[in-house]
Structure 1
Amino acid sequence: MNVNALLDFTLVATHEGLGKASRASGISKATLSRRIADLEEQLGVRLIERSARGLKLTEAGELLMSRTEGPLSEVAEAMTAAREGLTTPCGRLRIAAPVLFSQLAMGRIGAEFCAVHPQIEIEVVAEDRLVDLIEEQFDVAIRINPNPDSSLVGRCFARDRLVVVAAPGVARPVPGAISPVPAIVMPSFEPTHWRLDEGQLILEPIPKLRFSSFLMIRDAAIASAGAALLPLSIARDSLARGELVQWGTVSGVEPQLWVLHTSRRLAAPKVRAFVEFICARYPDRSLILNDQRN
């Protein structure tokens, strides 16, 4: 049975006429009349007597009205609440984000977002693995240079650069032939060569230390353990303090941070709100971690 037809029947019965019901609801009289006729056809009984003096409920119509008025009122209220829920950001927002970005930025981002949207409760899970948004019930994922995935949509909200740095006391090779250098590397990313500044300087990193965290790599570089490949956002403060010097920028590589979600259309308001918020926080798409701490 069509719930809309029941709602329209209640509307007409309450206003005691098609004209008044039409003016109150914005639904045409023809539509209201057709839906009530369809409802009568489904039930096999006449609900409303039509005459020149107006409309009058039949005994069946009175019975239906008495039994459905309360429940249908609740249904109408529930539908209104659902519509409002589709426009007002609210509820729990589960976010999966890389560990380093979570540690350096998500605390402040989450607090600022909740201050703007107090009806949202945020849960951030810091993991470097690729979570399954649907199976693990995440609303949003933040990923670095994500692979194309037809099931996810999103936007790039920040970009970084990869630079090779070392302590001031570590000798910088001169441009020319490929130069081997003692290096601090990440086990998951050990390129055979570092091509800097469009190939003006080509280095062959010889791993001396391996760490799974850019922060550990940075600290080892400050301690003169060798050259290191770091995101500029991680090295920036140490460069400014003179603890590190920059040997060059890696060519052809640009780390990008993306905010991703599953819904191509009718994304939840809380998801849309977070995507807009985090993109607005990096207006020039430069990854500046204002809350970075040693």
Structure 2
Amino acid sequence: MDLLALADFNLVARHGGFGKAARATGRPKATLSRRVTELELALQLRLFERGARALKLTEEGRALYERTALLLTELDETAAAISSGAEKPRGRLRISAPLLFSQTAMGKISAGFALKYPDVRLEITTEDRAVDMIEEGYDLVIRVNPPPDESLVGRAFLHDRLVVVAPPDIVLPSPSQPVPGVVRGGAGSETWNVMTTKGPTKIRIDPVLVLSSLIMVRDAVRAGVGAARLPISLVSHDLAAGTLMHWGDVENSEVALWALYPSRLLLSARVSALLDFLMQAFPKGTPEELAAYIGG
């Protein structure tokens, strides 16, 4: 494939027309049109629908643009870095991160990263849904236990697990007796499978409070409302101080935080820098490290 023709195609697609691309770059309109036509002939695909007044990407053209625009940008950045003798992180870096990690750690992480790399403009969006990186323009996403995705690669940089905690004045009951509980999500009776110091047991929960975030759940448990399932990193300081009691670990509740990105090929300096920064912040990736980072 002719990379110059591909670059011209991306130029036209980004500006929304041959004339607009020509005016923005000083390139001849006829040259851009010819190069795009040559690319279409080489691929045996129509990339644009050419109307009398408008130019619109075909479905194939949009797919090609979405898959190649980032790669061409990385090529430009790599060439610029090589010509200058050093690759320095710069430019905009868009990240999507889950709510709890954002609330507890991303503020400190982003501040430290911004101080270390002042030429990078960091933008962080907080949401738990699985965003479409390419369609929504993210450079990196942080996800909890993500399902396999052939279009993304990455690494796990943190691990955590759920524990059942309660205020000191609430005693762990027998399996047949329900205990007041603070839960995240839908209401209704629940049974938790927990590994205690005496072995596995079941804890019946009467949800007296249903909340939408784990920070809210933790604060309610601290106030004495009831028991809850929470990440150990979020309550380890309370357990150490004795203000909350550890009833046991929730079975099969291990979680991993992954940093994901579209491709290892030509990974930008700014994404590489953030990955390194995360690994330096959590070199072992343990819940204890996260707890210390949150409390530090």
Interval containing the TM-score (normalised by the shorter chain): 0.5 to 0.7
CA 1:238–1:189 in 2, change beyond 3 Å: closer, same or farther?
A: farther
What is the distance in 2 between the residues matched to 1:268 and 1:189? 45
AA of the residue aligned to 1:81: A
| Structure 1 match to 2:115 | 115
| Structure 2 match to 1:165 | 165
Q: How many residues align?
A: 218
From 172, 183, 186, give the equivalent of 1:185.
183
AA of the residue aligned to 2:216: M
AA of the residue aligned to 1:200: P
Tell me if 1:260 matches 2:260: yes
AA of the residue aligned to 1:165: V
| Structure 1 match to 2:32 | none
Q: 1:105–1:289: 8 Å Cα contact kept in structure 2? A: no
| Structure 2 match to 1:283 | 283
AA of the residue aligned to 1:181: V
CA offset digits 1:196-252 (Å, max 9, x no partner): 227522112221110011111112112221110000111112222222111001122
What is the distance in 1 between the residues matched to 2:231 and 2:106? 18
| Structure 2 match to 1:249 | 249
Query: Displacement of 1:289 after TM fit?
Result: 4.0
What is the distance in 1 between the residues matched to 2:282 and 2:186? 28
| Structure 2 match to 1:231 | 231
AA of the residue aligned to 1:90: R
| Structure 2 match to 1:13 | none
CA 1:79–1:106 in 2, change beyond 3 Å: closer, same or farther?
A: closer
What is the distance in 2 between the residues matched to 1:255 and 1:156? 10
Q: 1:179–1:202: 8 Å Cα contact kept in structure 2? A: no
What is the distance in 2 between the residues matched to 1:79 and 1:230? 43
| Structure 2 match to 1:197 | 195
C-alpha RMSD of the superposition = 2.9
CA 1:200–1:79 in 2, change beyond 3 Å: closer, same or farther?
A: closer
Query: Displacement of 1:142 after TM fit?
Result: 0.7
| Structure 2 match to 1:81 | 80
CA 1:79–1:196 in 2, change beyond 3 Å: closer, same or farther?
A: closer
What are the within-5 Å matches in structure 2 for residues 1-294 of structure 1? 80-81=79-80, 83-84=82-83, 87-174=87-174, 177=175, 179-187=177-185, 192-197=190-195, 200-287=200-287, 288-290=290-292, 292=294
CA offset digits 1:158-198 (Å, max 9, x no partner): 11110001100011125xx4553221111169894212227
- The higher radius of gyration belongs to 1
What is the distance in 2 between the residues matched to 1:94 and 1:202? 43
| Structure 2 match to 1:7 | none
What is the distance in 2 between the residues matched to 1:91 and 1:228? 42
Identify unmatched segments of 5+ residues in structure 2. Answer: 5-75
What is the distance in 2 between the residues matched to 1:185 and 1:218? 10
Query: Displacement of 1:89 after TM fit?
Result: 1.8
Identify unmatched segments of 5+ residues in structure 1. Answer: 5-76
CA offset digits 1:101-144 (Å, max 9, x no partner): 11221111112122332321211111122211111111011111
TM-score by length of 1: 0.67
Partner SS state of residue 88, structure 2: coil
CA 1:166–1:84 in 2, change beyond 3 Å: closer, same or farther?
A: farther
More helix by share: 2
Partner SS state of residue 101, structure 1: helix
CA 1:113–1:260 in 2, change beyond 3 Å: closer, same or farther?
A: same
Partner SS state of residue 134, structure 1: helix
What is the distance in 1 between the residues matched to 2:274 and 2:170? 43
Partner SS state of residue 277, structure 1: helix
TM-score by length of 2: 0.66
Q: 1:104–1:289: 8 Å Cα contact kept in structure 2? A: no
CA 1:79–1:253 in 2, change beyond 3 Å: closer, same or farther?
A: closer
CA 1:78–1:151 in 2, change beyond 3 Å: closer, same or farther?
A: closer
AA of the residue aligned to 1:215: I
AA of the residue aligned to 1:166: A
What is the distance in 2 between the residues matched to 1:115 and 1:271? 16
AA of the residue aligned to 1:104: T
What is the distance in 2 between the residues matched to 1:290 and 1:90? 30
What is the distance in 2 between the residues matched to 1:212 and 1:78? 42
